[in-house]
Chains A and B, each alone.
Chain A
């Protein structure tokens, strides 16, 4: 007698298993197929094209009513199985029917995970899993608002599908970049840009707090930071959980999913499972490729054949038109790895391969996925790529030939070959310009614009110069910022402004960085450039700062730190001194020293004590002196008219005002000021970065002094009549320095490059001066704050060891 096979769930996995089974032995089983959804098997992954309107539901049905009929499958659609009795070997349908089985196949799929935020049960809060969800999203029309929580594959497909219908969509994503499990930051950045171009609002690093509603219906989403996003529908696409409830109730072994062996058999020999509901060797599944492999195996097992499921690499593509991305393999774990990175900013292309022992382990492509299958093949087969390593990233077309001499390659290019992608300049145009007398890079750039935008073709332009002029042209050794780029600091600064690059991944991508995430040379510089140019938009990145600025204290050679509280203008009082003395006692500070900047240095503080000593000093009103920063250090003063018989102005008062205006600001290098009350100059103002010397008729502001490895006297910038004007001049020149200087150039070095006259021109023009001072003030509205207080309050934990294993290890 034929055996009874009962299948629970008519999804993609069981559907495929059924096909294999019926192909091999149509009469092996009497099949009964239950499905909670009121329909048979359809191609779930094509719901997104249905949502965007590119396909109709009919087109994505895998098995029609006729198909089930022809193959003798008893369909019980719209009926959820309520229980399994393993002793009696029966299942019970929702309506109470009891159906006996010889073999039972579970294919219950997954449940979308719903974050239990307040309001998650409001009407209008849905997941994205089945046709009902899709149809609900399709009711949204132009002008309506939808919030999608989750910037993964599903969330973005939902967002793009609705945006294509003219719906106003906002994606709220918890992590720093989109699809963080499949993409690295660079690809995430490009994807975000493409989605924004489609009119979708993307909020990363955004934490949802509460779903708002009215009369039982959703009206908006409230974020942790207080932002309120109104919406008519809220889609949660934050992940899936294997649907194991039925199996667990029946007493089958269940972990995160239903445990199965290599034959897809559960802990009960007569019950098999397949699809997203299973757990195999600790792994869960969320893409169809491995499920189809499982389906093959489960069919063979049911037919008594030998078969074993083996996990393979999976790859992901996003089904959103205009966003070509591909990610495969594993770039998240394991030592001995190397990256090969290729970027083509003009085309918006990013490719990254992760290699280990000459084998490709992972790949992320954005913008050009034409060769992704070839690479995926290399990953799956574990091909040894040692031979083609140099040209590997360019894909299969480039393999097999000998590497070209770059100069010969350029010489061989036809005249209409494009050299500068940004400006659309061909080789012929550049050659013509050279023949007309433009014989160096700057001249070619001026005449043709080639290499004047993103600058990444600079090398190519130089090669064209070389090929055209022969030995008359020596390709200059680029003074690049670091090994990650061929661009010089100045070019990077210019491009950050002109291209509006507001994040590190944006710079890395648009300027063609050769590494995944920069190095210790370029990252601190980029962090400064970005925060100086985009104070409001850019978020300071502590991980790109040297330790002193990250921990707001100076590291000493023995790994301890020094702590220097700010003493405004060098003026203190007994209470502050007492608090400093108490702190020195309490934290066993071995050395207490007066600095040259009129303050007190507590040397030898343990890293772990930093937040505590800061909190104590804060209580007495003392804040960070930034003695560790590329930023404002001190404003040294003399006693001026308050006490000195020669004093012409209130130098102390002005010094304190200046320090209160400037503190907390970041500058290309350290910034020291001084104010002397008369030309006797007791505050040594003329060897500071900015010095003010008071005279009877007003204030002389001079810049570019130094008293370090180089000793320099300041040069006069201007003389003004009032304290207020002095304040504005100092703010303006500080901002000019912040906006233009190369990172780690003191003012005198910057002045040598741009010339004092140019600086004077800017400061003498009242409009320019005011605009500079205004921009400085805008930046200060964010950075004028005490980092000690902030760290003592919010980050104290991070100053402690992550774990203390001294006890455990001693056992």
Chain B
């Protein structure tokens, strides 16, 4: 079951940027790419838990601000020689609003 919730306007997230949202189970980073796709990932790099929302977004990847690990926004996988994976959550845009699948966020808690 999905449960899409509106977490804010697309324009509140800068293109090639991210914003953080708080959930009961930790922070989630919501990314917007240069071509207006949105992605949601845990806001913690698999390396040393760096805040991914503060990284540089390029293509559909983000570079962690602490040690430059590059993480795929689509799969949550660390790229290149680094190994690790971040949880990803379904996100989409509808009429200029960003929707996240709350059901999926909850499942993580369980």
Residues of A at the B interface (CB closer than 8 Å) are 176, 184-185, 331-337, 339, 515-520, 523-524, 542-547, 550-551, 555, 557, 559, 797-798, 801-806, 808-810
- Assess the B21–A803 pair: CB atoms within 8 A: yes
- Assess the B59–A802 pair: CB atoms within 8 A: no
- Assess the B65–A802 pair: CB atoms within 8 A: no
B34's partner among A185, A547, A559, A798 (CB-CB below 8 A) is A185
Report Cα–Cα, A337/B54, bound state, in Å.
Answer: 23
CB distance from B61 to the nearest CB of A (A): 8
Chain B residues whose CB sits within 8 angstroms of the CB of A337 once the complex forms:
60, 74
A333-B37, A543-B57 as given contacts; A810 in contact with B24, CB under 8 Å: yes
A524's partner among B54, B56, B60, B93 (CB-CB below 8 A) is B56
Instruction: Give me 16 A-to-B residue pairs in the complex whose CB atoms sit less than 8 angstroms apart, sorted by A's number.
Output: A184-B35, A335-B88, A339-B59, A519-B56, A520-B70, A542-B14, A547-B51, A551-B54, A555-B51, A555-B66, A803-B22, A805-B24, A805-B102, A808-B102, A809-B23, A810-B24
Report Cα–Cα, A259/B90, bound state, in Å.
Answer: 28
A559-B51, A806-B22 as given contacts; A543 in contact with B14, CB under 8 Å: yes
A184-B34, A808-B102, A809-B109 as given contacts; A802 in contact with B56, CB under 8 Å: no
A801-B27, A802-B30, A803-B7 as given contacts; A809 in contact with B102, CB under 8 Å: yes
Which are the 6 A-B pairs with shortest beta-carbon distances? Answer: A520-B63, A802-B19, A547-B54, A335-B74, A803-B7, A520-B56
Report Cα–Cα, A310/B48, bound state, in Å.
Answer: 49
- Assess the B8–A802 pair: CB atoms within 8 A: yes
- Assess the A523–B56 pair: CB atoms within 8 A: yes
A557's partner among B20, B21, B66, B88 (CB-CB below 8 A) is B66
CB distance from B36 to the nearest CB of A (A): 6
- Assess the B8–A803 pair: CB atoms within 8 A: yes
CB distance from A755 to the nearest CB of B (A): 32
Chain A residues whose CB sits within 8 angstroms of the CB of B13 once the complex forms:
802
Chain A residues whose CB sits within 8 angstroms of the CB of B36 once the complex forms:
332
CB distance from B98 to the nearest CB of A (A): 8
A802-B19, A808-B5 as given contacts; A516 in contact with B35, CB under 8 Å: yes
B21's partner among A515, A543, A797, A801 (CB-CB below 8 A) is A801
- Assess the A546–B23 pair: CB atoms within 8 A: no
Chain A residues whose CB sits within 8 angstroms of the CB of B25 once the complex forms:
809
- Assess the B56–A546 pair: CB atoms within 8 A: yes
- Assess the A517–B16 pair: CB atoms within 8 A: yes
- Assess the B24–A516 pair: CB atoms within 8 A: no
A335-B39, A517-B16 as given contacts; A806 in contact with B24, CB under 8 Å: yes
Chain A residues whose CB sits within 8 angstroms of the CB of B66 once the complex forms:
555, 557
20 extra interface residue pairs, beta carbon distance < 8 Å, beyond A184-B34, A805-B102: A332-B36, A333-B93, A334-B37, A335-B73, A516-B35, A517-B34, A519-B58, A523-B56, A523-B58, A524-B56, A546-B56, A555-B51, A559-B49, A798-B12, A802-B19, A805-B22, A805-B105, A806-B23, A809-B106, A810-B24
CB distance from A707 to the nearest CB of B (A): 25
- Assess the A517–B59 pair: CB atoms within 8 A: yes
Q: Which among B20, B58, B75 has the greatest number of chain A C-beta atoms within 10 A?
A: B58
- Assess the A543–B75 pair: CB atoms within 8 A: no
A185-B34, A335-B74, A803-B8 as given contacts; A547 in contact with B19, CB under 8 Å: no
A184-B35, A335-B75, A519-B63 as given contacts; A801 in contact with B54, CB under 8 Å: no
- Assess the B37–A332 pair: CB atoms within 8 A: yes
Chain B residues whose CB sits within 8 angstroms of the CB of A185 once the complex forms:
34
Chain B residues whose CB sits within 8 angstroms of the CB of A542 once the complex forms:
14, 17
Report Cα–Cα, A523/B17, bound state, in Å.
Answer: 13
Report Cα–Cα, A517/B60, bound state, in Å.
Answer: 10
- Assess the B24–A544 pair: CB atoms within 8 A: no
- Select from chain B the residue with minimum beta-carbon distance to A516: B59
Report Cα–Cα, A317/B63, bound state, in Å.
Answer: 36
A332-B37, A336-B75 as given contacts; A520 in contact with B58, CB under 8 Å: yes
Please report the total number of B residues contacting A with Cβ < 8 Å. Answer: 50
Report Cα–Cα, A517/B58, bound state, in Å.
Answer: 6
CB distance from A358 to the nearest CB of B (A): 15
A557-B66, A801-B21, A809-B25 as given contacts; A333 in contact with B92, CB under 8 Å: yes
- Assess the A332–B35 pair: CB atoms within 8 A: yes
Chain A residues whose CB sits within 8 angstroms of the CB of B24 once the complex forms:
805-806, 809-810
- Select from chain B the residue with minimum beta-carbon distance to A331: B35
Would you call B46 an interface residue if the criterion is a C-beta within 8 Å of the partner chain's C-beta atoms? no
- Assess the A518–B58 pair: CB atoms within 8 A: yes
- Select from chain A the residue with minimum beta-carbon distance to B12: A802
Chain A residues whose CB sits within 8 angstroms of the CB of B39 once the complex forms:
335
- Assess the B92–A802 pair: CB atoms within 8 A: no
Chain B residues whose CB sits within 8 angstroms of the CB of A331 once the complex forms:
35
- Which B56-101 residues sit within 8 Å CB-CB of chain A? 56-61, 63, 65-66, 68, 70, 73-75, 88, 92-93
Report Cα–Cα, A626/B17, bound state, in Å.
Answer: 22
Report Cα–Cα, A810/B109, bound state, in Å.
Answer: 10
Report Cα–Cα, A376/B82, bound state, in Å.
Answer: 37
CB distance from B57 to the nearest CB of A (A): 7
- Select from chain B the residue with minimum beta-carbon distance to A356: B74
Q: Which among B34, B56, B63 has the greatest number of chain A C-beta atoms within 10 A?
A: B56
Report Cα–Cα, A335/B30, bound state, in Å.
Answer: 14
Report Cα–Cα, A524/B68, bound state, in Å.
Answer: 13
Report Cα–Cα, A43/B78, bound state, in Å.
Answer: 52
- Assess the A805–B55 pair: CB atoms within 8 A: no
A801-B27, A805-B5 as given contacts; A543 in contact with B37, CB under 8 Å: no
Report Cα–Cα, A184/B59, bound state, in Å.
Answer: 12
- Assess the A805–B75 pair: CB atoms within 8 A: no
Report Cα–Cα, A333/B19, bound state, in Å.
Answer: 18
A185-B34, A543-B17, A808-B102 as given contacts; A336 in contact with B74, CB under 8 Å: yes
CB distance from B81 to the nearest CB of A (A): 14
CB distance from A775 to the nearest CB of B (A): 28
Chain B residues whose CB sits within 8 angstroms of the CB of A339 once the complex forms:
59
- Select from chain A the residue with minimum beta-carbon distance to B90: A335
A543-B15, A547-B65 as given contacts; A805 in contact with B54, CB under 8 Å: no
Chain A residues whose CB sits within 8 angstroms of the CB of B23 once the complex forms:
805-806, 809
Q: Which among B34, B60, B70 has the greatest number of chain A C-beta atoms within 10 A?
A: B34
Chain A residues whose CB sits within 8 angstroms of the CB of B65 once the complex forms:
546-547, 555
Report Cα–Cα, A801/B24, bound state, in Å.
Answer: 13
Report Cα–Cα, A797/B19, bound state, in Å.
Answer: 11
Report Cα–Cα, A516/B61, bound state, in Å.
Answer: 12
- Assess the B7–A805 pair: CB atoms within 8 A: yes
- Select from chain A the residue with minimum beta-carbon distance to B34: A517
Chain B residues whose CB sits within 8 angstroms of the CB of A802 once the complex forms:
7-8, 12-13, 19-21, 30
CB distance from B104 to the nearest CB of A (A): 11
- Select from chain B the residue with minimum beta-carbon distance to A810: B24
Report Cα–Cα, A331/B59, bound state, in Å.
Answer: 12
- Select from chain B the residue with minimum beta-carbon distance to A544: B56
CB distance from A552 to the nearest CB of B (A): 12
Report Cα–Cα, A122/B105, bound state, in Å.
Answer: 52
Report Cα–Cα, A524/B37, bound state, in Å.
Answer: 22
Report Cα–Cα, A547/B92, bound state, in Å.
Answer: 25
Chain B residues whose CB sits within 8 angstroms of the CB of A804 once the complex forms:
21-22
CB distance from A805 to the nearest CB of B (A): 5
Chain A residues whose CB sits within 8 angstroms of the CB of B59 once the complex forms:
339, 515-517, 519
Chain B residues whose CB sits within 8 angstroms of the CB of A544 once the complex forms:
16, 56
Report Cα–Cα, A810/B25, bound state, in Å.
Answer: 9
Report Cα–Cα, A333/B92, bound state, in Å.
Answer: 8
- Assess the B21–A520 pair: CB atoms within 8 A: no
- Assess the A809–B105 pair: CB atoms within 8 A: yes
- Assess the A543–B102 pair: CB atoms within 8 A: no
Report Cα–Cα, A174/B58, bound state, in Å.
Answer: 23
Report Cα–Cα, A801/B43, bound state, in Å.
Answer: 12
- Select from chain A the residue with minimum beta-carbon distance to B6: A803
Report Cα–Cα, A542/B18, bound state, in Å.
Answer: 12
- Select from chain B the residue with minimum beta-carbon distance to A558: B49
A555-B54, A808-B102 as given contacts; A516 in contact with B34, CB under 8 Å: yes
Chain A residues whose CB sits within 8 angstroms of the CB of B88 once the complex forms:
335
- Assess the B55–A547 pair: CB atoms within 8 A: yes
Report Cα–Cα, A542/B55, bound state, in Å.
Answer: 11
